[in-house]
Amino acid sequence: MTPNVLFAAPDRLWARYQAPLTRALEEVGVSARLGPDAGPPEDVDYIVYAPHPGLQDFTPFTRAKAVLSLWAGVEKIVGNRTLTMPLARMVDAGLTEGMVEWVTGQVLRHHLGLDHVLSHQSGEWVQNVPPLARWRPVTVLGLGALGAACARALAALNFPVTGWSRTARDIPGIRCLHGEGGLAEALGSGQILVLLLPLTPETDGLLDAARLALLPDGAVVLNPGRGPLIDDAALLAALDAGRLGHATLDVFRTEPLPPSHPFWGHPRVTVSPHVASETRPESAARVIAENIRRGEAGEPFLHLVDRANGY
């Protein structure tokens, strides 16, 4: 069998993925017809997908064995009622590596007070030695592919790390809490809070005024997860009141963040334009090729999305 693999993603991506995907399919021994035009929809076996206006209705793909998402976050796809075939999300070593670098860098920036150092270069000799990481507790909400990797990297630097997930996790060196019952303790423990939750009906608006109030005074919020995890107005109120120290936000309810948004230019907010990490074609192509190999061999797909939970 030579499966037909439709690459259905914004145009600019095909040039980046064509060679890695072709190579990765060869490596797993699958000979496929691959491209943005894989023949009539009823002949397509797999859809490599990133949301774009060109493909929203999956109904004509009657033979497709799976939709393989290029992105880790699937909130724009998971509710699509025409997508009835298995949906796999992206778990990519390169994406994870980039996220670990971004989160570690942002945590160290705030922990070491690097902003303060950079803004005090006028000849005044003021010594503020930062505490050791071992005295700076960090909380990571979300202990999945990205959150767990970041938690481990921070723990390896000696930060005491508390993690929070929906179901119970056991990660050596991390204090793992879960469920509604563990949230208040997780929020109360971290001087630096990292949000790496997916956007689902349960996590939408999770960080509202009441939960922000549980963070320690002066806490720093890092959000490389999804914008709607936070109630923007509540966050701004907490920052304006001086209750929270800073928010470094990589993701927003509306992207690009509108120029008039109060986050821009706010003295306690750093706007990062959704660059914390991204799927890396070389490593991601191997994940997609492996799932196509599995589909052809009748083996279970990796990284399937749980539709009921929304991630």
What residues make contact with ligand NAP under the rule CB under 6 A? Answer: 72-73, 91, 95, 142-147, 165-167, 169, 196-200, 202-203, 224-226, 250-251, 274, 276-278, 311
Q: What is the CA radius of gyration of the chain?
A: 21
CB atoms within 10 A of CB 185: 14
Smaller CB separation from ligand NAP, 52 or 116: 52
Q: Residues near 68 by Cβ (< 8 Å), separated by ≥ 6?
A: 46, 47, 48, 49, 88, 288, 291, 292
Smaller CB separation from ligand NAP, 30 or 87: 87
Residue 64 CB, shortest distance to ligand NAP, in Å, is 23
Nearest-angstrom CA–CA distance, 222 and 105: 11
Q: Contact at 8 Å (CB) between 269 and 232?
A: no
Q: Which pair of tokens denotes residue 244? A: 């929270």
Just list the catalytic residues: 226, 274
Smaller CB separation from ligand NAP, 43 or 97: 97
Residue 141 CB, shortest distance to ligand NAP, in Å, is 7
Smaller CB separation from ligand NAP, 65 or 166: 166
Secondary structure class of 187 (helix, strand, coil): helix
Residue 271 CB, shortest distance to ligand NAP, in Å, is 13
Residue 243 CB, shortest distance to ligand NAP, in Å, is 24
Q: What is each CA distance from 17 to 48, 68, 154, 217, 293, in whole angstroms?
A: 10, 14, 32, 45, 18
